[in-house]
Amino acid sequence: MAVDVSALVSGVQRYADMIAGDATRIMRDRIQGGAPRKTSFMRTSDTVTNLGRGRRRLEFAADYASYVDEGTPPHQIRPRNARVLRFRVGGKTVFARVVNHPGTKPTKWFSGESEQSDWTRDCQQAVERRGTVKV
């Protein structure tokens, strides 16, 4: 006896895709909540791409997001479009040809939140919110 289960498989795939979308939104909200808030641009520059088959990619488009997340080693800053740098220190204008930046500590605001156990928890929360569906 042959049984056509294509409708069941299709329904399960649609449900898995809905759960992946919901879980991605849960993860995005959690990550955004932990983002540094000097400005809101980095925190809100997220893009979610549907890769199909229940897979999503969450990216933050701010060009400096990875530097904030991973930190930077000590480095020199040199002028790009001028002969000298100009900035203010203690109310005084300072000019310099080069500045030795001490680097920045990593915040792990994004990469620290993307552990598999967190994703599993987000998926479980999405299932609980959505509940069961009729296939």
Residues 117-130: tens digit of each pLDDT: 788 888 889 999 98
The whole-chain average pLDDT of the chain stands at 86
- CA atoms of 62 and 70, how far apart (whole Å): 14
If we measure between CA atoms, which residue out of 81, 76, 69 comes closest to residue 112? Answer: 69
pLDDT digits (tens, 9 = 90+) for 30-87: 888 777 777 788 888 888 898 887 788 888 888 888 898 899 999 999 999 999 999 9
Q: DSSP label at 64?
A: T
Report the predicted TM-score, pTM, of the whole model to 2 decimal places. 0.66
List Cα–Cα distances, 110 to 31, 58, 95, 115, in angstroms.
6, 10, 35, 10
